[in-house]
Structure 1
Amino acid sequence: MSTDKNRATAAAILPLVGGPDNIVSIAHCMTRLRITLRDRSLVQDEALKALPAVMGVVEDDTYQIVLGPGTVARVTPEFEALVAEGRSAAPAAPADTHAVTADELAAQGAAIKNAQKAKNSTPFKLFLRRIANIFVPLIPALIGCGIIAGLGGFLTNMHWVPAAVPALAAMASGFMSLIAVFVGYNTAKEFGGTAILGGAVAAIIVFPGVAKIDAFGQQLSPGQGGVLGALAAALLAVQVEKWCRKWVPEALDVLVTPTLTVLISGLVTLFGLMFVAGEVSSAIGTFATWLLATGGAFAGLVLGGLFLPLVMLGLHQALIPIHTTLIEQTGYTVLLPILAMAGAGQVGAAIAVYYKLPRNRSIRATIKSALPAGFLGVGEPLIYGVSLPLGRPFITACIGGAAGGAFVGLFNQLGTAFGSTAIGPSGWALFPLLDGKSGMGMTIAIYAGGLAVGYLVGFAATYFFGFTRQMLTEFNTGPDADTAPEAAPTPPAATEPAPDAAAPVPVGR
């Protein structure tokens, strides 16, 4: 039955993005179906947002449909199959021709214009996205291994089933011990090289035999430089390979190019990159520890308050290498619980919007459908469907995130440092991944307290400061506003719903 449901979702999405012939490529991340389109104008945005399974859409370097964790991994294969079937079949009849009104066209045009403005595809921003693309495919393994590590730690602390602990440790640590290889593989693939050569060069970093090599007067250690070293080594391998492809004769290419790529990149990695990347990795860990130990409250305030704009721009994934480096060094990343407070502020703000707009059924339905995902740390539906289109509630959501971040950061400053053993989850979904030096009880209590602060401050800031009188008049209305009783306690609505009132609503009509 679940397969039928996922196929039905894919079948509903396909005609609304222009059909099979309009699809260039298909991929997915933790929460989004990412589609490269031939003709953007064929997409029916409003109809797509109205689908029950769609939490929102994001236009970036690809067209991204937010379906939520778990769902997207099941819908994507069905979507790919339907696209393949559609391309091989005879041209089908046109899909439902939705009669687009002038207001809808104007809203759609404004949305596209704003998306293009926000896109701002600078070389630096595009580079950060490509770096993020290297690490996003690794997140499911990081989550699974992190939860297994947490389970092993719990059994150890409780002195339960001691025979199972070594097996759990092997499962949790196996991937992390070889993560540099996967990073090298994905890096070469992302930047146009041969993926396996990137993995081969990165494997040098984790090979135990490097302990016999001296570089810069120091003996190397396996894993030195970690994921940053693997990233740099694979980037170098891509450049060496491209140079070889340009100059090596075709008859010798299959022998000479791989050999020179591994040899040159390997030597530079052993006698340069491992040392430099090791120093950078150590500096990141030292700085993060110092920052939270000396100015944890202020650092948490800034990090928690600025994280929603990073999510809005899709740049939050550029932090993945830093999280991964911290996990390699200490077993957990102290930054993620603080950044997760931004989602708490967003949830609190959305609840306040729900109560401030009792007559706008569309926005309230959107909030009701997106809140469960918001509590689990999936913030895009609430960002793009509620707070960002409304404007001021996005700012007040950031205030809630800043307050929660300051709360968690303060306890780090007081000596109760903790973090997440994996990356990806947030909100309530982060509880199984928490780890710290002060015991699980204290760790869970502080994180839960931060969430509560984020919820409350986000709600209060939005309820009292998130709306002007004009906004309440404009948005506190609905399709049935013209039939509402005269004595309603809310501000009088216009005889026709304002065109902008429906604009922020992506789902749940």
Structure 2
Amino acid sequence: MAEKDYTSLAQSIYHEVGGKDNIDHIAHCATRLRFNLKDETIVQDEHLKKMKEVLGVAHAGGQFQVIIGPNVQQVFQEVIKIHDQKPMTSEKTDTGQAHSKAGFSLKKILTNMLDGLSGSLTPAIPAITVAAFFKTIAAVFGPSMLNWLSETSDLYVLATFVGDTTFYFFPVLIGYTAAKKFKTSPLLGILLGAIMIHPTFMAMATEGASFSVFGIPAMVENYSSTILPIIISVWVMSYVDRFINKQLSEMVRGFLAPALTIAIMLPIALCVVGPLGAFIGTAVSDGILNMRGLVGFLGVALIGGTFSLLILTGMHIILITALIQVFMENGSESFVAPGLSAASFAILGMALGAALKLRKKEDRSLAWGFFTTMFLSGTSEPALYGIGIRYKRPMIGLIIGGFAGGLYMGILNVGHYTLIPLTNIVSLLSFSGSTTANLVNGIIGCVISVVVAAGLTYFMGFEEEPGLKE
């Protein structure tokens, strides 16, 4: 079967966002093209919305986002070809440089932060998925649930340490992805991450030993399973690396630039940026835990009801980052994660209700396609834009369904004990790893979200049926 050609779609999108003269930076996540534009007011939103393959558009966090769905990677590659640049390597599309020329503002700072987090974390999702797979084997078949594997069995031990590897060496993995994002040397990013979790440094952190870098006192921290210290460090290193390379002649640049870059980064990363990132990460983690104590189960319900709205704006990366941070530090999470699950299954329920209710055969077929996409791959935008935004009224069922499922899980203090970066049916295994009751109640909560959202979508019907959009 011939592969679909996305050239025409890419050309149309490129034209409607203003072309080369208006584009500072192009990136993509799982479902969206993300443009940093010089002037968002010239974008032809309505023209883009009318394109069959475009599910919707959003202006969020200083970015213009075009929602494509699962085929975004193919469209992105075609857009990159048109823009005559290589993905994530061209100096012309350096977001930091472009913004620095235009001056600073709170909005631009927030834009760069969100862009940096998204660009650094999203490529690491496959590694997290691998960890989740093996952690799930240990959780489900180990002593805590089915008890088919003993803690001393080779398979249990293998699944456990393979599952832990991603999280323990997360600074190394993120060192690579952050370096790609900030357009500096990926190998130096890996090396910097490895330095921060070297056994000698980790041992000093465990013992509380004092240490200095070139005479500068360092706050010795355990950076394993952290996110922000390495992301911020690599961001700083990207500027140091560029500066060093500009100062050296070609004769010595190849062997001297990397050494000087790391030498300069050692006191910056270990004495300043690393401890600062660890402090921020701990503050975020503690803040979420304290928030759970303040608002209780109602907070889980509110996240369940509103998380889909964050997806529409593209701002959900903030909660995702916070969730990963808390999970890394505590090994479980029972505030954001259950609400996220409730919201995701409410989207599934909304698609199911629409598929059962819609009268036109073509529309019904597309709704079933949205349902299947969400069920199998966890891609939510097709249903959100193709049903929720287009028909409006199903959004009510979606919000109430997410709230209901989140309320149930919040009351019973259901938590995620396995970090699975998916929102499809496999994500139900996130509730494994603790008690069987936690798994059962987590599944029940998600089923409640599906049933309530599907029921309300079905019985409330639609104000009109203009036809769904692929």
1:67 aligns with 2:63: no
Q: Of 136, 140, 144, which residue of structure 1 is paired with 2:130?
A: 144
Change (3 A) 1:278 1:463: same
Task: Find 1:445's aligned residue among 440, 445, 453.
Answer: 440
Q: Does 1:124 align with 2:110?
A: yes
Decide whether the 8 Å contact of 1:58 with 1:65 is kept in 2.
no
Normalization by structure 1: what TM-score? 0.69
Runs of 5+ consecutive residues of structure 1 not aligned to the other structure: 88-120, 477-500
Pairwise CA distance, 1:442: 1.0
Residues 1:425 and 2:426 are matched in the alignment: no
Q: Which residue does the alignment assign to 1:274?
A: 274
Q: Is the 8 A contact 1:215 1:270 kept in 2?
A: no
Secondary structure of 1:66's counterpart equals coil
**2: CA distance between counterparts of 1:225 and 1:138?**
13
- In 2: Cα distance, 1:365 partner to 1:35 partner: 32
8 Å contact from structure 2 (residues 304, 338) kept in 1: no
CA distance 1:361–1:318, change in 2 (3 Å): same
CA distance in 1, matches of 2:221, 2:36: 43
Structure-1 residue corresponding to 2:385: 384
Could you say which residue in structure 2 is the equivalent of 1:495?
none
State the one-letter code of the partner of 2:427: L
Query: Shift in Å at residue 388 of structure 1?
Result: 0.8
- Aligned pair partner of 2:139 in 134, 153, 156: 153
**Which residue identity lines up with residue 149 of structure 1 in the other structure?**
K
The C-alpha deviation readout for 1:445-484, integer Å capped at 9, x for no partner, is 21122112212332454456x56xxx63xx25xxxxxxxx
Q: Is 2:333–2:416's contact at 8 Å kept on the other side of the alignment?
A: yes
Inter-partner Cα distance in structure 2 for 1:317 and 1:397? 20
Secondary structure of the corresponding residue to residue 449 of structure 2: helix
Aligned match of 1:339: 340
Q: Does the 8 Å contact 2:418/2:429 carry over to 1?
A: no
- CA gap 1:123/1:389 in 2 versus in 1, 3 angstroms: farther
Identity of aligned residues (%): 21
- When residues 137 and 156 of structure 1 are mapped into structure 2, their CA distance, relative to the original with a 3 A threshold, is same
In 2, Cα distance between the equivalents of 1:428 and 1:239? 42
Provide closer, same or farther for how the CA distance between residues 35 and 233 of structure 1 changes in structure 2, counting only shifts above 3 A.
closer
Separation of aligned partners in 1, 2:291 and 2:211: 31
- Pairing of 1:381-420 with structure 2 (within 5 A): 381-412=382-413, 417-420=414-417
Paired letter, 1:324: I
1:166 aligns with 2:129: no
Report the number of matched residues: 415
The gaps in structure 2 that reach 5 residues or longer are 38-42, 85-106
Highest CA radius of gyration, 1 or 2? 1
Displacement of 1:251? 4.7
Q: Are residue 506 (structure 1) and residue 469 (structure 2) matched?
A: yes
Task: Say which SS state the counterpart of residue 343 (structure 1) adopts.
Answer: helix
Q: Aligned equivalents of 2:26 and 2:219: distance in 1? A: 45
Which residue is equivalent to 2:297? 297
SS at 1:419's partner residue? Answer: coil
Give the conservation status (yes or no) of the 8 Å contact 1:36–1:63: no
| Other structure's SS at 2:422 match | coil
With 242-251 and 175-184 compared, the bigger mean Cα shift is at 242-251
Q: How does 1:86-485 map to 2 (within 5 A)?
A: 123-157=109-143, 158-160=147-149, 162-210=153-201, 211-212=203-204, 214=210, 220-223=220-223, 226-249=226-249, 251-334=251-334, 335-354=336-355, 357-358=358-359, 360-376=360-376, 377-412=378-413, 417-437=414-434, 439=435, 441-463=436-458, 472=463, 475-476=464-465
Matched residues in 2 for 1:434 and 1:367: separation?
A: 28
CA drift at 1:34:
8.0
Q: Deviation string for 1:86-141 (max 9, x for gaps)? A: x9xxxxxxxxxxxxxxxxxxxxxxxxxxxxxxxxx855235303321111111111
Aligned partner letter, 2:364 = R
1:314 Cα deviation from its structure 2 partner: 2.0
1: CA distance between counterparts of 2:393 and 2:67?
25
Tell me the SS of whatever aligns to 1:174: helix
Q: Give the TM-score of the pair, scaled to structure 2.
A: 0.75
Q: Is the 8 A contact 1:327 1:333 kept in 2?
A: yes
Give the letter for the 1:391 counterpart: K
State the distance in 1 between where 2:111 and 2:219 align.
Answer: 37
C-alpha spacing 1:45/1:462, structure 2 compared with 1 (3 Å): closer
SS at match of 1:418: coil
Change (3 A) 1:45 1:219: closer
Q: Distance in 2 between matches of 1:215 and 1:35?
A: 44
Residues 225, 143 of structure 1: CA spacing in aligned structure 2 closer, same or farther, 3 A cutoff?
Answer: closer
Shift of 1:341: 1.1
Residues of 1 paired with 2:32 and 2:405: CA distance?
26
SS in 1 for 2:432: strand
Is the 8 Å Cα contact of residues 49 and 57 (structure 2) preserved in structure 1? no
Cα deviation code 1:197-255 (max 9, x no counterpart): 22222222111111346259997354268211111211121122233344445554434
The 8 Å contact of residues 296 and 411 in structure 1, kept in 2 or not, is answered as: no
Change (3 A) 1:389 1:292: same
Summarize the Cα distance change of 1:138–1:385 in structure 2 as closer, same or farther, 3 Å threshold.
same
Q: Distance in 1 between matches of 2:430 and 2:451?
A: 24
Given that 1:345 and 1:398 are in contact with CA atoms closer than 8 Å, whether structure 2 keeps it comes out as yes
RMSD (CA atoms):
3.9
Q: CA 1:230/1:36 → structure 2, altered by over 3 Å: closer, same or farther?
A: closer
Cα deviation, residue 433, structure 1? 3.2
- Cα separation, partners in 2 of 1:225 and 1:65, compared to 1, 3 Å: closer
* Local SS of the residue matching 2:149: coil
Matched residues in 1 for 2:407 and 2:258: separation? Answer: 51
CA distance in 1, matches of 2:279, 2:36: 39
Query: Which deviations, in whole Å up to 9, do the C-alpha atoms of 1:299-334 show, x marking residues without a partner?
Result: 112211221111112222343432332232222343
For residues 49-88 of structure 1, the aligned pairs below 5 Å read 49=53, 56=55, 61=64, 63-67=66-70, 76=74
CA contact 1:201–1:237 (8 Å) conserved in 2: no
